[in-house]
Amino acid sequence: MTQAPGPPPVLPHDDRARGPGGPGRSLAAWTAGLLLAGVSAVMGCRIADVDGVTPVPQLLAFLPWLLAPTGAALLLTALARRRIGMVWGVAVLGVLAWYIEPYGKDLKDSEASGLPVAEVRVLASNVQFGRGTESLVGAVRRERPALVFVEECDYGCQDTLRRELPPAGFPYRQAVEAGGSQGSVILSRYPLKATAGVPGTMGMPGAVAEVKGHAVRLQLAHPMPPLPRQVGLWRSELGRLRDFAAAGRSQPTILAGDFNATQDHAAFRRILDAGLHDSTRLAGNSRTPSWPSRAPAPLGAQIDHVLVSEEFSARSARFVQLADTDHRALVVDLTFHRPPAS
């Protein structure tokens, strides 16, 4: 008697259970799509030369690290066998690679014209509500800069700098004396003439230095950070710094401090486009992070800058670790060249 055939056995790893429409691949495809959509939104603002709204300005500060979610998305689309997603991921990766390139003046163009007038070492440091002042004093004594720009220098910080860096070393200073993050000061070995400075929520003093008989505009930068509800204020204060740069396009200028912005922010690029150049770019160090200082290299963002006009060339730019502050100090060696009109 012939036995009737029964149903075929179901194998434990039947391909039908994990085919193209299986839950594992669908989840991978959806996750990849969400990652690529987020990165694409940020990159769309970068391409459009705008900073957008929260969280785009905050993410733009860490633009190089968007390579991580993009790479993860590419891997997921490959596992999910989604060709459209893979093409999308490769395109986003290419755009990221393009914009990771340093912005601004090329190294081959970094030699300023005119005879050298002076070698000028500049140190810029955010001491985080004055906490890093003692460490800053040690760095100033070691580095021996001619100009020092200090942000978040509260009343105690100002007193410490007067006591530990007396007029014999820095006979000239221009300060905004205030508590917390609002205080700031420029220390100088060159004679200074006070200017009104750039108005802002936090102190941004200005001055004109006499360097070997030539007037050099100095301006400390410390606009508000792009906090979620203060992006408009951040953009406005960076705009005022841009106006300062544009107003003195024909004059030697140093604009230094904590800009709370990177080269990937449109508001910061407007300042560079007004005629200034980032000294770290000129010295080949443009992607070195300055904040947060506790983040291991190469993590972090470069938000501390020393911007200079065409009369300056940069021989070196390096970041120095200080204790008790979340910023690394920036030390730049500049050569000041004779202005064309002199």
- The model's pLDDT over 29-55, given as tens digits with 9 standing for 90+, comes to 999 999 999 999 999 999 999 999 999
Q: Is the pLDDT of residue 336 over 60?
A: yes
Contact between 271 and 307 (Cβ < 8 Å): yes
- Who has greater pLDDT, 221 or 4? 221
**For position 196, what pLDDT does the model report?**
95
* 3-state SS assignment for residue 92: helix
Q: Where are the domains of the chain?
A: 19-100, 108-337
DSSP states along 253-285: EEEEEE-S--TTSHHHHHHHHTT-EEHHHHTT-
The arrangement of secondary structure in 108-337, i.e. its CATH architecture, is 4-Layer Sandwich (3.60)
Q: Is the pLDDT of residue 165 over 70?
A: yes
Contact between 47 and 98 (Cβ < 8 Å): no
pTM for this one? 0.90
- Separation CA 22–CA 30 (nearest Å): 12
- Separation CA 293–CA 302 (nearest Å): 10
- Who has greater pLDDT, 140 or 248? 140
pLDDT tens for residues 171-196? 999 999 999 999 999 999 999 999 99
- 157 residue type, one letter: C
